[in-house]
Amino acid sequence: MSRERILVTGGCGYIGSILCEHLLDAGYAVTVLDSLIFGQKPHFHLCADPNYDFVFGDVRDKELVSRLVSQADIIIPLAALVGAPLCDQDPWLAKSVNFEAIKLINSLRSQDQFLVYPMTNSGYGTHSGEEFCTEETPLEPISLYGITKVDGEKEVLGKGNAVSLRLATVFGLSPRMRVDLLVNFFTYKAVKEKALVLFEKDFKRNFVHVRDVADCMIHCIRHRNEMKGLPYNVGLDSANMSKEELALKIKEYVPDLYIHYAEIGTDPDKRNYIVSNQRLREAGFEARRSIDDGIKELIKGYRMLRRGELTNI
């Protein structure tokens, strides 16, 4: 029996680099489309697998994307400018990649082609840290990043045969590492600088490991007939944590970490909410890698960094 072919745009990114590994291990054929604009290291370790293919190109290239979509059974469009600060640096690029490219892919795919859309739970906006956000909670994004992702979700779910995964703040190591994500950043500061300046210490977020995100996407593919048509929150129920709780958890593993509480600083997404992952759990998937697992993994990984890597110090 032939393998289902999955097109992953932005497949060399933070989530994509882990996802491609998991997809190949799960028996799928994978085609990656990526422009490598962030200078990320290519997937040399995957090239020996005959079920892996890489195409260098832009997700907004209609002719190229049309050809690749026509060859795919499943599409996972990860290519995006991720995060409020990055989108604010180049709003035109953010809109064209985060939304217009999604519209293009959505217009090209047939009703038989399943799509897994990576959303963000920052789309919930400025809800109270004491109130659980479910998939029925109104989406009220306040950043350009959140707006483009919410618009993309409406686009793909409107066509059908798709799911949207509203991802919590992701953590964990990846070949295309992102240190700006909260758990990754706090742990980096703890390991490399032994000091952390903490603002908005009581603001809460939900978290999820990057490998759980990859496993969740595979679960959605395998159970597409039961899951399609809906958005799902993807996070750890045990990790609805405030910034202070996260910092103190890291301090358990880096005892000499100094935490300074400051009044300066603000989250560009104003994220302060706790999230319910009940719908996803009822669909048969539950994240299993804990915050503790992630912190220990990150500490080991950061020991490998030479001076100047991922930063200028």
Domain boundaries, the chain: 5-171+208-235
Q: What was the pLDDT predicted at 275?
A: 87
Residues 234, 188, 180, 47: what is their CA dihedral angle, to the nearest 10 degrees?
-70
Q: What was the pLDDT predicted at 272?
A: 67
Q: What was the pLDDT predicted at 65?
A: 97
**Model confidence pTM above 0.75:** yes
Q: What was the pLDDT predicted at 126?
A: 57
Q: What was the pLDDT predicted at 270?
A: 59
Q: What was the pLDDT predicted at 125?
A: 63
Q: What was the pLDDT predicted at 141?
A: 84
What separation in angstroms does the CA of 222 have from each of 4, 28, 227, 264, 273?
A: 11, 11, 9, 46, 30
Q: What was the pLDDT predicted at 312?
A: 43
Write down the residue that tokens 């469009």 correspond to: 77
SS (H, E, C) the chain: CCCCEEEEECCCCHHHHHHHHHHHHCCCEEEEEECCCCCCCCCHHHCCCCCEEEEECCCCCHHHHHHHHHCCCEEEECCCCCCHHHHHHCHHHHHHHHHHHHHHHHHHCCCCCEEEEEEEHHHHCCCCCCCEECCCCCCCCCCHHHHHHHHHHHHHHHHCCEEEEEECEEECCCCCCCCCCHHHHHHHHHHHCCEEEECCCCCEEEEEEHHHHHHHHHHHHHCHHHHCCCEEEECCHHHEEEHHHHHHHHHCCCCCCEEEECCCCCCCCCCCCEECCHHHHHCCCCCCCCHHHHHHHHHHHHCCCCCCCCCCC
Q: What was the pLDDT predicted at 32?
A: 98
Would you tell me which CATH number, out of the four given (3.30.750.24, 3.40.50.720, 3.40.50.12590, 3.40.440.10), belongs to the domain 5-171+208-235? Answer: 3.40.50.720
Asked if 113 and 106 count as a contact pair (C-beta separation under 8 A), the reply is no
Go through the chain and tell me how many residues it has: 313
What tens-digit pLDDT sequence spans the chain (313 residues)? 679 999 999 999 999 999 999 999 999 999 999 999 887 777 999 999 999 999 999 999 999 999 999 999 999 999 998 888 888 999 999 999 999 999 999 999 999 999 999 998 877 765 555 568 889 988 888 889 989 999 999 999 999 999 999 999 999 999 999 999 999 999 999 999 999 999 888 888 899 999 999 999 999 999 999 999 999 999 998 888 999 999 999 999 999 999 999 876 666 555 667 889 999 999 999 999 999 999 999 999 999 987 656 654 4
